[in-house]
Copies of this chain bind each other. A is one copy, B any other.
Amino acid sequence: MEIFEYVKSVCSAAADSKSAMAGASAKTKNTVLARIAELLRGECDRITEANAIDLKNAEDNGIAPAMLDRLRLDSGRIDGIADSLSELIMLNDPIGSGTRTTRPNGLVIEHIRVPLGVVAIIYESRPNVTVDAAALCIKTGNACVLRGGKEAIETNRVLAQIMRRALADCGLPSDAVGLIDNTSREGSAALMKMRGLVDLLVPRGGAGLIRSVVDNATVPVIETGAGNCHIYIDESADIELGIKVALNAKMSRPSVCNAVETMLVHENIAADFLPRFTAALDGKALEIRGCERTRAIIGCAAAAEYDWATEYDDYILAVKVVSGTDEAIAHINRYNTGHSEAIITRDMANAEHFKREVDAAAVYVNASTRFTDGGEFGFGAELGISTQKLHARGPMGLDALTTGKYLITGDGQVR
């Protein structure tokens, strides 16, 4: 109960800052972002010292090297975060934009974009998310409550202090950036129940975190980042192009949500395509788990039901030979998480069919799923990739952090 009250106090303080944040001009909000960038660069040593403690603790706890790398902040990465703030400053502020209509009875109806209010984010070990997520909230006039992973708590404390100071330096309430300085499960469970205080909760992390939030949250949630993505190599595919795109979709960065986990191959080209695909790996380590027909062509481990349903986030690829586009679509719609799906084909009818029938945020023809990203789509900034259909689907830019409000002005109209 003590933890619950603590989390509530952080959320209440953030909620009390809503009005000041919503009323801040685009210029003021951009000044805060510039001030954060300046402080990040100026306090680089303090940040890396705190980060060194986190890294030491993580190493003592025997954390994997890939995880350690995600946790690390050096002066180059801090510069990178500061640079991305400068890019965010350049983007248009959506707040206050809208439409205006006059009804036949003389009522003037404006529909304008306004902040959501308090946005909470639960995330894992990457400390750059602390600044990225808070900066998107500041840009859109929202208050935010951050609950990062325990591995990064020392770093996050310093980063939150810097952002709170920047807000105060620019005349805005420092409580508009709140950090839950308690990394227990009870802390994140409490945050999920802050109905009336938290207007949106965005979980950024693995399937376990997302599932826990969906099951337990009473606050509005946008699910992000679950990516069991597929690439389907159609009978008519340009094989060289297919190999290039499939290799990129799987191998360029397997730990991210837009990487491919299962490759489906048309039965009429499988005997040609699959050996050329494995040869193109050129010695790079990739574990392939295939269906029986795949195994008859290339020797590999056997795929089980588990494999079709799993987001490996690793150098593992499930492979299935299918009878055609319809079976590929059926497989994808059964197992996918609504993220990104690709077809490699020269048959435009199959491409159209695939685009129409596959149920996902992003459907690709002859391109890598790795492009599902706010930056690659030209949004300039991204809070995450929504895999749900309500409010935001796909990369979430600034608009996803706003809602609408109708303002109606009359001179005594009654109904």
Contacts and interface: CB of A to CB of B under 8 A. Distances in A.
B406 A394 contact: yes
Interface in A92-138: 101, 103, 107, 109, 116-117
A101 B357 CA distance: 22
Nearest to A247: B414
Interface stretch (A81-89, A162-170, A275-283, A383-391): A383-391
Contact of A407 (B22, B116, B355, B370): B355
Interface residues of A, number: 63
A389 B198 CA distance: 11
A245 interface: yes
A109 B247 CA distance: 22
Contacts of A360: 405
A284 interface: no
Interface string A386-412: 001111011000000001111111111
Nearest to A101: B378
Contacts of A408: 362-365, 367, 371
A405 B393 contact: yes
Number of copies: 2
Contact of A412 (B19, B366, B415): B366
Chain A at the B interface: mostly helix, strand, loop or mixed?
mixed
Given A109-B377, A366-B412, A215 B214 contact: no
A14 interface: no
A74 interface: no
Q: Which residue, of A390, A393, A410, has the highest number of chain B Cβ atoms within 10 A?
A: A390
19 contacts: A19-B357, A199-B389, A200-B390, A220-B388, A241-B412, A245-B414, A249-B414, A362-B405, A362-B408, A363-B406, A365-B407, A365-B408, A365-B410, A366-B409, A366-B411, A367-B414, A371-B408, A390-B403, A393-B405
Contacts of A103: 376-378
Given A244-B414, A377-B109, A390-B222, A361 B406 contact: yes
Nearest to A413: B367
Interface in A269-307: none
Interface in A331-363: 351, 355-357, 359-363
A222 B200 CA distance: 14
A94 B107 CA distance: 26
Contact of A409 (B22, B199, B365, B411): B365
B409 A367 contact: yes
A248 interface: yes
A414 B365 CA distance: 12
A252 interface: yes
Contacts of A371: 107, 408, 413, 415
